[in-house]
């Protein structure tokens, strides 16, 4: 299932992880992004087949529909559904009768704490929020600044080409972006300058993001929901405890289980923030977008991010090829139920065979014979086994 918000990057990523894990893939595009989704699948299909891939390895529904997607998900020949989109399509995938991995929406809070490197923190927030015009699900949505540095943060934002709206401009922006409590799809992925013009006010050329100050989080300030655009809301917090409460309010307004970010030089506060926010990943001192997808962090590099049970998903990982393979495990007895003489029960044949086989190799790799000790010829590995068994019995 391919979303409408970032169809090309999601399509490329899902195709790559499917092929890497030895699977064929069928794309089911969102109707509003059908042409670009099909184009991506077609380009990669041709490239793969020219490189020797079998015909049909990569395919895509040319005429997307709800009925077609439903039939595809329920087909017994489908081994796994990888669903990216809104709650409806994710629920449909989980209720299809086939195994499914669904990933949810984000509404990322970012906290700039008192000890943070303000220069870097502000630049990181703008970098993350403006990347791909705010379409990435881990993009910063609401900036929570410590009250003591709030005005300084605002000045830094302006220095790096963020435009702070006036109260009147904020009202115009909200009227444009929010229709009946929901995001107006006409502004999704637009540039900051374009959105300002659509709202009825002008901003300097080269403006990267629009910033609107808010007094609370939630339906009373509907701009604090996920915005899928280079628009950021901003609120003050008097200390870490209040900031954590604010972050939780943001997450409970449509981002549970996804991502939160913090800028701080106090490791204790970073850990506390991470432990008290219901998310699957906490990005520290980095743009939230780049950290969450593993570009600027040690997380698995991925464009498909699970939200765990808090977000209604089956996994909280960054989805990778490892999630699309079955593993077969051969379990040798290590704690005998009916023990015999441990030394005589373990033979060189057992030792040389164990762990030698790989499901991806045509034949087991050759392994040198273990060293032997004493007149009986017992191996070092056998000695280790006997010592371990003795240790467990103590």
Active site members: 137
Task: Output phi, psi for 211, to 5 deg.
Answer: -120, 125
CA distance 51 to 388: 50
Q: Cα–Cα distances in Å, from 372 out to 343, 344, 381, 388?
A: 14, 15, 9, 18
Q: Quick one: tokens of 70?
A: 């439903």
| Spatial separation of the C-alpha atoms in residues 301 and 295, rounded to whole Å | 6
Q: Tokens in use for 247?
A: 């972050």
Q: What is d(CA 319, CA 308) in angstroms, rounded to the nearest whole number?
A: 12
Strands (E), 50-99: 58-60, 81-84
Quick one: which of 92, 144, 387 has its CA closest to 261? 144
Is residue 287 within 8 A of residue 311, CB to CB? The reply is no
The three-class DSSP label of residue 343 is: helix
Closest listed residue to residue 304, CA positions, set 103, 50, 43, 74: 103
For 84, residues 6+ apart whose C-beta sits below 8 A from its C-beta are 1, 2, 3, 10, 14, 102, 103, 304
How far is 11 from 43, CA to CA, in rounded Å? 11
Residue 26 CA neighbour count, 13 Å, CB half: 17
What is the distance between the alpha carbons of residues 377 and 366, in angstroms, rounded to a whole number? 21
**264 closest CA partner among 249, 252, 247:** 247
């Amino acid at each position: 299932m391919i979303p409408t918000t970032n169809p090309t990057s999601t399509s490329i990523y899902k195709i790559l992880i499917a092929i890497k894990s030895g699977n064929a893939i069928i794309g089911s595009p969102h109707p509003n992004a059908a042409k670009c989704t099909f184009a991506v699948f077609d380009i990669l299909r041709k490239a793969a087949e020219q490189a020797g891939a079998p015909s049909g390895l990569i395919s895509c529904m040319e005429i997307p529909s709800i009925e077609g997607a439903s039939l595809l998900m329920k087909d017994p020949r489908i081994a796994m559904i990888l669903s990216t989109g809104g709650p409806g399509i994710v629920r449909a995938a989980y209720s299809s009768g086939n195994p499914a991995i669904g990933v949810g929406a984000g509404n990322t809070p970012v906290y700039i704490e008192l000890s943070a490197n303000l220069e870097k923190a502000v630049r990181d927030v703008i970098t993350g929020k403006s990347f791909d015009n705010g379409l990435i699900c881990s993009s910063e949505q609401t900036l929570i600044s410590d009250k003591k540095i709030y005005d300084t943060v605002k000045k830094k934002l302006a220095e790096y080409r963020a435009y702070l709206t006036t109260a009147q401009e904020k009202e115009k922006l909200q009227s444009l972006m929010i229709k009946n409590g929901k995001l107006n799809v006409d502004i999704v992925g637009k540039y900051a300058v374009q959105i300002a013009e659509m709202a009825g006010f002008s901003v300097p050329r080269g403006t990267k993001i629009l910033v609107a100050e808010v007094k609370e989080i939630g339906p009373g300030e509907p701009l604090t929901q996920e915005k899928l655009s280079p628009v950021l809301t901003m609120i003050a917090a008097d200390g870490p405890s209040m900031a954590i409460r604010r972050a939780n309010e943001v997450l409970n307004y449509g981002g549970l289980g996804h991502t939160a970010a913090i800028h701080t030089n106090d490791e204790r506060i970073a850990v506390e923030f991470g432990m008290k926010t219901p998310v699957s990943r906490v990005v520290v001192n980095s743009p939230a977008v780049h950290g969450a997808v593993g570009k600027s962090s040690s997380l698995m590099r991925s464009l498909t991010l699970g939200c765990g049970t808090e977000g209604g998903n089956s996994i909280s990982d960054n989805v990778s090829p490892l999630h699309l393979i079955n593993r077969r495990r051969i379990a040798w007895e290590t704690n005998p139920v009916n023990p015999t003489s441990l030394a005589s029960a373990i033979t060189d044949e057992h030792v040389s065979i164990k762990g030698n086989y790989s499901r991806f190799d045509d034949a087991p790799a050759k392994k040198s014979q273990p060293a032997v000790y004493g007149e009986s010829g017992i191996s070092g590995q056998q000695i280790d086994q006997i010592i371990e068994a003795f240790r467990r019995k103590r």
